[in-house]
Structure 1
Amino acid sequence: MEESNTRGKILKAMYQLIAEVGYDKASISKVCTLVGITKPSLYYYFPSKEDLFRAVSESMWPTLDLLDKNFFAITDAQAYRAYLDAMGRSIIENYHDDEERRHVLAEIDLQSTRIPSIASHQKRLGRTMGESIASVLRHGCNIGVFDKGFDTKGNAEFLYVVLNGASQVISRHESIDAYVAWKKAVDAIFCEATSDLRSTEEEHLQGK
C-alpha cells in the first residue's frame, strides 16, 4: 500500500509540474521536493524522467478490464447494449475540462514530436484502447447481438475516434455534449447491425 501511495504522489507531482512549467522545466529535483523523497527513492519507481512522463501520459488514458467476468457473463442483447453505453459514459466521465489537464495534454502532444519513445508510447496506448473496444464488440458477435458480417475492426475504430474526440472537445471546454455523441455512436453501430441482419434475411428469403 505504501509503495502504491508513493508512486501515486510522484505521478501527481509530475502532472502538476508539467501543467505549471512544462515537461522541460519539470525537473526530478522539483518532483522529489514536492513529494518529500530523495532521488534514489524516485528512481526506484521510475528509472528516468522520460519513464515518469510516459507514466503520467498513460495515467490519463482510460482503461478497460478485458478480464471483466461480469461483462463476459452477459448474453442478453439489451444488457449488452446497456453495458456498451455505460462503458463509454464511464470513460467520458474520466475526462476533465480543467486548465491543468489542457496544459498537460498540450505538453504530451508537443513532446511526442520531439521524443520518439513518447510518440511510440502514445500510439501503443491508442492501439491498446482500440483493441479493448474491439474485444467488447467481438463479445457482441459471440452472443449473437451482431451477425457474422459485422465489421468489428471498423466499428471499434469508429468508437475509438468518438471517445478520443470527446477527450479533445472536453479539454477545450467546447459546448458539445460528449455523452450525446457517444449515445449516437452506439445507436449507429446497432443500426448498422440491424440493417445487415435485415439484408441477410432478405437475401435468404430471395434464395428460397
Structure 2
Amino acid sequence: MQTLIDTRLHGADHRTSPVTNAGIVPAEFDATMIEEAHQRSANYGVPKTASPDYDPLGRADMAFVLEQNRLLHNHAAPVMETLYEQIINTHNMVILTDVTGLIIHTLGDADFLEKADRVALSPGVAWSEQSKGTNAIGTAIAEKVPTSIHADQHYLDANRFLTCSAAPIFDVRGNVVGVLDVTGDQHNFHKHTMALVRMSAPNDREPAVRGSL
C-alpha cells in the first residue's frame, strides 16, 4: 500500500537502538547514540526510577501551545490519521509533539491508550530527554534524526515496556518544529514501523508543507 505523498524522507539519516528483548538488531543501529543519550539523561539529573509525570499543562497553557503550533497540527493531523489507519489494532498509538517534546495530539487503540496513560503518554505532558530521559521523542529532538528506542533502551524504568519510533519534523530552514512518533508495547515491535514513521513525517520537502512551517 502506498503511503501518503511520494516525496518523503528519502536519504534521511536514521539511527536506531537494538531490539534486545526481541532478539533483533536493526541494520542501522547506532550504539553510541544510545550511550550518549543515557549520559545526557544522567547529566540532566533524571532519576531512572522516577514515577510518570501525571501533571500535564493546564487548559489555558495547553490552548496557548496549540495556537503556537496551529500550522504544525493542521499539517500533521491528516498524516496521523492515515498513519493510524495503517497500524490500527496493533496495540500502538500515534503521537505529535512540539519542538520541546510536549505532546499536542494522539491517536491510538483503546487497549494501548490505557497502558499509555500509566506513563503519562498524553497531551500536555513533556517527553523531552530533560523530562523523561532517553526516549524516541526526546532523543529524536536532541539528535535531529529519526530514532527508535526499544524496551530497556529507555532511560526510565517505567518506560521499558514501550517500543517507540520517532521522526523529527523540519521547517524550510531546517529547524526541528515537532516530532511524529509511533509508540506501542515492546512485545508488538515491528521492523517496518520506523519506515512508516519516516515516510509519514511532514517536512520541508513536502509540497503541502513547503513555505508553511
- Which has the larger Rg? 1
Which structure has more RCO (C-alpha within 8 Å, separation ≥ 6)?
2
TM-score normalized by the length of structure 2 = 0.26
Between structures 1 and 2, the one with greater strand share: 2
TM-score normalized by the length of structure 1 = 0.26
Between structures 1 and 2, the one with greater helix share: 1
